[in-house]
Amino acid sequence: MNHNSTPRPATARGQRTRQRLVEAAEAVFGRKGFERASISDITQQAGVALGTFYVYFPDKQALLVEVVDGLGARLRAELARAIAGRTDRLEVEREGFRAFFAFTARHRLLYRVVRQSEFVDEACFRRYYRSFAAPYARALAAAQRSGQVRRLDPEVLAYALMGITDFLGMRYVLWGRKRDMAAVLDAAVELVRHGMAAPAGGGRPGPAPRRARRRTA
């Protein structure tokens, strides 16, 4: 099914109702999983009648696609705001990491919902990651041209950095914040700095990262 075929409501009230269904689906899919979640679960969560669902979505799959596409768009917008006006590539990476961790903390079901889409609508799943990787690779290529980043395949570099961010968010945000996030961020940036920064003649190594202190619950 083409994800663009879902009709958009013409009225403000319709837009609000549709958004309530999307937000409810994010919670229900995240909590119960796509297969176990029912349309009635979603409409109950949204506080609308069962029949109202079909005014906005033809089926449950179309709604999952809408949820994943919407989460991706919101995350990209948040990342763009976090790095706006910054020209130093390492500072961009730091603020991008920070913004991703903050978004994940507010949308703790993000991982579960996105990963379900791989088995429900693979095109949606791939689109989610490619929509981040393509502009990321272009920005890294520009940083290479300006001499801030080593000459590496920018797409490979983009996916490698996305993988770092993805797994750190999973471990230290989703699974429980049992470490000082500032120290986690420092460690990630130090890895990026020495793995991708353009070599400066005889440059000295950066400062030793802070140890990630275990938090006491």
Q: What is the CATH number of the domain that holds 31?
A: 1.10.10.60
Q: Which domain holds residue 139?
A: 60-196
Rounded CA separation 37/25 (Å): 9
Provide the whole-model pTM: 0.82
pLDDT digits (tens, 9 = 90+) for 123-145: 999 999 999 999 999 999 999 99
pLDDT of the residue at 74? 95
**pLDDT at residue 196 in the model:** 56
Q: Output the domain CATH number for residue 177.
A: 1.10.357.10
Same domain, 28 and 97: no
Shared domain check, 46 and 85: no
On whether both 145 and 164 belong to a single domain, the answer is yes
Query: Do 39 and 100 have their domain in common?
Result: no
Query: Do the domain assignments include residue 208?
Result: no
Residue 207 inside a domain? The answer is no
Say whether both 21 and 105 belong to one domain: no
Per-residue burial over 39-73, b if 16 or more Cβ lie within 10 Å, else e, is bebbbebbebeeebbeebbeebbbbbbbbbbebbe
- Give a yes or no: residue 1 inside a domain: no
Interior CA angle at 204 toward 199 and 209, to 5°? 105
Is residue 33 domain-shared with residue 130, that is, in the same domain? no
Q: Which residues of the chain have pLDDT under 50?
A: 1-4, 202-206, 208-209, 211-217
Tens-digit pLDDT profile for residues 65-106: 999 999 999 999 999 999 999 999 999 999 999 999 999 999
